Amino acid sequence: STGEKTIITRRTTSPSSPKLALARSLARSNHIDTSQLKLVRLVSSQSMADPQAEARGPPEPRAETLVELVRVNGSAAEATLSSAELAWRTTGAGRDSGGRRKLELESDVLGFQVEGRSLKLATFTRGDVTGAGRPPSPVGCGGGAEDRKRGEVAVEMESEEAAERWGHAIRDRFASLGRPKRLFFIVNPYGGKRGGRKIFQTEVLPLIDAAHIHYTMQETNYRLHAQEIAGSLDLKKYDGIVCVSGDGILVEVVNGLLQRDDWDKAIKVPLGIIPAGTGNGMVQGLLHSAGEPFSMSNAVFAIIRGHRRALDVTSVVQGKTRFFSVMMLTWGFGS
């Protein structure tokens, strides 16, 4: 976003683009040198190959369905693990006996770990799907019935081998979704209400740690610092760059990437944004397009899940000045 994880990829240009013709027409009416005005459309290679691919999401991997007699949060159950979900039905006596519960691996699970015969899943769901055990604790901002809540599901298997087998299956599923393993965070401690550092510590890190994502964090100290960071960062070390800020730092990062000598490779690095500034329009738009309510926790979870959206970037050149815009472009006279 991007809270939603935004990806910028392959560069395409069209000299006869209607958008470019319109831009030049508007520029001429305002006496701008149209020979130096360019609109650059950046789209994902997946979207170019198949316009419906983004709407469908990543292809479902073909994997065997695993079935085991287990204990889920202490209750005997028959559990089934497919490529899409972990489902279980309690088998013992009691009020919840026979009730079926499930976790969608893509949309309900932050991460997991295997400890001996136990498979522990950190969940982030709407409503309690965990059954007995530790009650979910609220995470998020803004309140409302649609806030996700953290919880834990502990599945005790019959053997360590079974736990490892299920762990490998879930790990393969996460890999097929494009979930990041290493992220670089740029935190603006001065934007908005000057809460970027606190937001990173209290809202972002708990979810990132639960997802077992490795990270590096750097704060900005002055204007265009984020642009400098993005311009010199060793991008091979990370699966994406995340801005804990308003929209301005994201724009700086885009400009830093596109001004690199290897801009054609840098432009493919996924970008994320966590709302921590005065203007958070990019995050709101991306979360809305994904059907998620606007909140910091939903923005973080979208990044963890590997959500991506194509992003349009405008390149404007006037004389020796060149800059890139990702949200809006205005022109006028100061008074």
Residues recognised as catalytic: 247
Nearest CA to 107 among 7, 179, 213, 155?
A: 179
Q: Are 219 and 160 in contact (CB under 8 A)?
A: no
AA letter at 257: L
Phi and psi (nearest 5°) for 217? -125, 140
Cα separations in angstroms, 66 against 69, 79, 80, 163, 169: 10, 8, 6, 11, 9
Helical spans, DSSP H, in 53-154:
53-56, 105-108
**In whole angstroms, what separates CA 320 from the centre of its chain?**
35
Nearest CA to 161 among 63, 68, 61?
A: 68
Rounded to whole angstroms, the Cα distance separating 230 from 283 reads 20
AA letter at 46: Q
